[in-house]
Every structure is written in C-alpha cells, then in structure tokens.
Amino acid sequence: MAAISRQTIGKAIVATALSAAASVLISGTAVPLFGGSYDGLGMWLSLILPIVIGFPASTWQFHQSDAIRKARDELLLLHEDLDRMHERLMQAHAALTEKSRIDAMTGALTREAFLTDLNAASAAGRTGTLLLADADHFKRINDTFGHQTGDEALVAIADAIATTTGIKDFWGRIGGEEFAIFLDASGIEEASAVAETLRRRTEATDIRREKGRVAVTISIGGVTLAPHFSVRQSIADADRRLYRAKRIGRNRVVLDEISDDDASAA
C-alpha cells in the first residue's frame, strides 16, 4: 500500500472537523427539540464519535481517491506513450515501405513498384506514353571497363531520366540495364520530344577511363496509352519498338506511328 500523503491527512482532518462540528450542531439543536438535555455524555459522544469514526474513514476515502487519480494519470501517460510509439512505428513502416520501392543504386522505382503504379494508372483511367529505355552494349561496358563503370553508366542514365521527366511522371528500373517511364497525359509528339531529349542527354554522358571515353547510349521504344490500357499488352508493344530501335542501329527512338526511316533519322 502506498504511503498516505500529508495532503490526504490534511483533507481528512478538515473533513473530520467539519463532521464533528456538524454533529455537535445537529445534536445540540435536535436533542432539546425532543425534550432532552444536551450535556454530559451525550455532548461528548456527539463530538468524539465523528472524530473516532470519521478521521480513519475520511483518510481512507481520500487516500483511495488519490490512488485512483494517480492511476488514471499514469494510464493516460502510458496511453500517450503508446500513441507516440505507434506513430513512430507507422513512420518507420512507411519509411521501410518507401525504401523497398526504390532501387538503391539509381533512385528509380523497383520493377514491382513501377508495375504497381502502372496498374494503378490504368485503373484510374490515366493516359500517356510508356517508354522502355535500354542501355546499348552494356555487357561491353562491363567487360571493357569493369562493373563499377557499368554501375556509373546506369546512374548517369537514371539522372538523365530524372531531369527529363515531369512531376506527374514516374519511372523505374525494371531490369539490369532497362528502365521504364510513364509520361503522364502525353501525346505522341510530346513523348517523342521527351524521348529524344533523354537520348541526347544520355549520349552526352562523360565518363572517362584510362582506356578512353565510355560511350553511354540508350535505345528507346514507346507506345501511347489509352484510358484503362492493358499493362501487359502495353509493355509488350513498347518492348517490340525497343527491339526495333536496337535492330536498326541502337541509340534510337521508336514510338508508335513512327516509321523505321523516321526512327533512323532520330
């Protein structure tokens, strides 16, 4: 049992004094009204009994009230701590979830995260253009200059994508050296201009080693997207155009409604 505080004892003394005073006042008024004499033993009993009974009872009652109040306050503090811990846990979970969506090396969305967002865009009825960009002769870069240089080339491509795309666009690394880009609400002409800018910025990458300058280029294939497009079919269509860009010489942009001759001149 917790120690009784001075404040509790003080309140009990006050309550007992008031009780004794009330007992004396009531007894001194009521006894004569009924023909009795308020003196002697009766007077002392009306004073002493409230003290003997009231003080322990008041002390116990106030002590219990203080204990209940303290327990309630502690419970409230524990509840607040639990809320803060829950909030930190939610923040940590959100941070881990976001971290799991991002490719650590390039800052792009992971394949799973990109496909999730692409499916969401389709479900929401968004339109735009899907681009697939693949690094040209990437194995040659790794074999000639080493995998660290290959990683640097991928980071350079990712930086070019990040600086070329808009705030409503999203993009991800969906393969070892392949990137996918969703250009929000873009038509064929706008998408073609964005893709060509991306191709030129990648081509301008300046990575130099003792063996010489590292040639970093990409081939891009793309397809426009109607509302509620098929994700699987759209990726397959864009991939065919990417293959065509590779087949006609690499470092090319091939979008739908663009002929092979036009793509070669890009």
Residue 266 has pLDDT above 90, yes or no: no
Residue 260 has pLDDT above 90, yes or no: no
Which residues make beta-bridge pairs with 80? none
- pLDDT, one tens digit per residue, over 143-192 is 999 999 999 999 999 999 999 999 999 999 999 999 999 999 999 999 99
Averaged pLDDT score across all residues of the chain: 83
- pLDDT, one tens digit per residue, over 91-106 is 766 666 666 799 999 9
CB-count burial class (<10 Å; 0-12, 13-18, 19+) for 173: buried
Domain assignments of the chain as residue spans, ordered by start: 6-100, 111-264
From the candidate CATH numbers 3.30.70.270, 1.10.238.10, 3.40.50.720, 3.40.50.880, the one assigned to the domain spanning 111-264: 3.30.70.270
Closest by Cα among 197, 180, 165, 179 to 234: 180
Answer whether 239's CB lies under 8 Å from 221's CB.
yes
Nearby residues of 157 by Cβ (< 8 Å), 6 or more positions away: 106, 133, 135, 177, 179, 202, 205, 216, 218
- pLDDT, one tens digit per residue, over 130-145 is 999 999 999 999 999 9
DSSP 241: H
Cα gap 37→76, rounded to integer Å: 56
* Residues belonging to the active site: 177
Specify the pLDDT at position 83. 82
